[in-house]
């Protein structure tokens, strides 16, 4: 896990944050007013975005990370190198980064087991003064996944 600022990232990682930031503007968040954008980088070099979509039945809401994974799945993409994440509440200054919630970590871990890649998660605050870069294995140690159930993922693009 490392902490830096936006300008210390590679140009490609800065670009991934910029894509997540654009996606953040599409958040449907009438309840929390919290905007989150996510951008996946696939192993083929494609970008797939997501933003949070809330619901009057609060538990039916979906986070930006999971919305990106679901969109990517519909495009036939299940193998990712990185995910960039950016978020802020519309009424507060965003000094802290937004880190994936527990449910998103679990779903991102499934992607890691499909691809065999320990996904890199890049989390930025909205002014770029704070960025944390971590591996999924750091964000969800001792994880439980499809391998623990003896599941063969080969027909889903897994190995
Ligand atoms: N949210 C995300 O989209 N991703 C996260 O990692 C944390 C939380 C969303 C869900 C909800 O719409 C709002 O932020 C407040 O929890």
Q: What is the pTM of this model?
A: 0.97
Record the tokens describing residue 25, joined without a space: 């503007």
Residue 81 a catalytic site member? no
For the Cβ of 109 lying below 6 angstroms from any atom of ligand 1, the answer is no
Domains of the chain: 2-156 (3.40.140.10)
How confident is the model at residue 94, as a pLDDT?
78
Angle between the N-to-C axes of helices 102-115 and 64-74, in degrees from 0 to 180, rounded to the nearest 10? 30
Residues of the chain by 3-state class (helix, strand, coil), percent to 5: 35, 25, 40
Record the tokens describing residue 85, joined without a space: 């994440």
How confident is the model at residue 132, as a pLDDT?
98
109: number of CA atoms within 13 Å, CB side? 19
Atom 14, ligand 1: residue with shortest CA distance: 34
pLDDT at 159 exceeding the cut of 60: no
């Amino acid at each position: 896990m490392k902490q830096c600022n936006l300008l210390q990232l590679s140009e490609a990682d800065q670009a991934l944050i910029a894509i997540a930031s654009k996606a953040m503007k599409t958040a449907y968040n009438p309840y929390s007013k919290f905007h989150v954008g996510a951008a996946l980088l696939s192993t083929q070099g494609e970008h797939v975005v997501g933003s949070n979509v809330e619901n009057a039945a609060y538990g039916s809401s979906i986070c930006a990370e999971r919305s990106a994974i679901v969109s990517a799945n519909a495009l036939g993409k299940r193998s990712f190198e990185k995910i960039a994440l950016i978020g802020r509440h519309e009424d507060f200054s965003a000094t802290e980064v937004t880190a994936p919630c527990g449910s998103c970590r679990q779903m991102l871990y499934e992607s890691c087991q499909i691809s065999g890649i320990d996904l890199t998660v890049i989390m930025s605050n909205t002014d770029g003064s704070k960025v944390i870069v971590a591996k999924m294995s750091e964000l969800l140690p001792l994880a439980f996944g499809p391998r623990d159930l003896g599941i063969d993922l080969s027909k889903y693009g897994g190995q």
